[in-house]
Amino acid sequence: MKTDKRPLPLTALRAFEAVSRHAHIKETANELNVTPSAISHLIKRLEDDLGVKLVQKTGRNIKLTDKGNKLAPVLQEAFQTLAKAVNKTRDKANNYTLTISLRPYFSAKWLAPRLNHFWSENPNVQLHLHHSNETIDFNTQSVDLAIEWSKGDRIDVNYHKLIPGVLVPIFSPNMPGAEKIHQPNDLLSHTLLMEVGIDSWSEWFRAVGGKSETSTNSLFGR
């Protein structure tokens, strides 16, 4: 059996597939954004190429022949399959994942209320949140950006100031001995907790004229 190696007349096949659904030249032309005359020429070209009659005109309407009725559902299924494959590929190409590392508390109180607005502006972004209290190493961790307290002094990182922040010590007024805390050095008799590292306490004491950095480092066993 000899194989026909002629290329498929895809444009003409697409025109016939649309005609088979609309049964109307003008509506088909509107869908394909061409003139009604162009549709008629494409159908005639396809009939000449196949050597069979596919449509019969009845005024402005179109009626399929027996051959046309057999070919139409095959083409409709084929073009639907092509459209699904193209749309699926297009969706994958237009979507991307953004992984953000940030503190759990900041995520819940600041980021979460803003996510609806972000997704409405960026519907193709798949957002992954990485909750951590540690400084991110972008060379070894699969994170695109991090929201964290920083002085902006890492030379291998691009910084953007999101919100200003002031580092201050806090304690409960119900804490035993709270009434005796009147100056920075009074805190040294209590257990100091930290979120962003020991250096933050050293810097704070130095900034407010408290104990020297050496004394503060000794407090933490450094």
Q: How far is CA 210 from CA 8, 45, 188, 201, 205, in A?
A: 84, 92, 10, 10, 5
Cα separation, 155 vs 170, in Å, equals: 32
Position 164 in a domain: no
Position 170 in a domain: no
Cα separation, 42 vs 29, in Å, equals: 11
From 93, 124, 139, give the residue that closes a domain.
Answer: 93
Q: Tell me: do 106 and 66 sit in the same domain.
A: no
Position 139 in a domain: yes
Could you give the count of Cα atoms lying within 13 Å of 158 in the half-sphere of its Cβ?
2
Q: Tell me: do 16 and 61 sit in the same domain.
A: yes
Q: Tell me: do 110 and 133 sit in the same domain.
A: yes
67: containing domain: 10-93
From 130, 147, 164, give the residue that closes a domain.
Answer: 147
pLDDT digits (tens, 9 = 90+) for 121-163: 888 788 888 888 778 888 778 888 998 877 777 888 888 888 8
Position 38 in a domain: yes
Q: Tell me: do 73 and 141 sit in the same domain.
A: no
Q: Tell me: do 85 and 18 sit in the same domain.
A: yes
Position 127 in a domain: yes
Nearest partner of 100 among 152, 141, 139, 140, judged by Cα: 141
Number of structural domains the chain divides into: 3
Position 4 in a domain: no
pLDDT digits (tens, 9 = 90+) for 162-192: 888 777 788 888 888 888 888 888 888 888 8
Nearest partner of 60 among 38, 28, 92, judged by Cα: 28
Q: Tell me: do 88 and 100 sit in the same domain.
A: no
Check which CATH number belongs to the domain holding 70 and give it: 1.10.10.10
Q: Tell me: do 51 and 78 sit in the same domain.
A: yes
Position 25 in a domain: yes
Check which CATH number belongs to the domain holding 126 and give it: 3.40.190.10
From 93, 127, 161, give the residue that closes a domain.
Answer: 93
Are the beta carbons of 75 and 120 closer than 8 angstroms? no
Give the pair of three-digit tokens for residue 32. Answer: 């394909």
Are the beta carbons of 149 and 175 closer than 8 angstroms? no
**pLDDT, the chain, mean:** 81
pTM: 0.44
Q: Tell me: do 136 and 105 sit in the same domain.
A: yes
For residue 198, is pLDDT > 70?
no
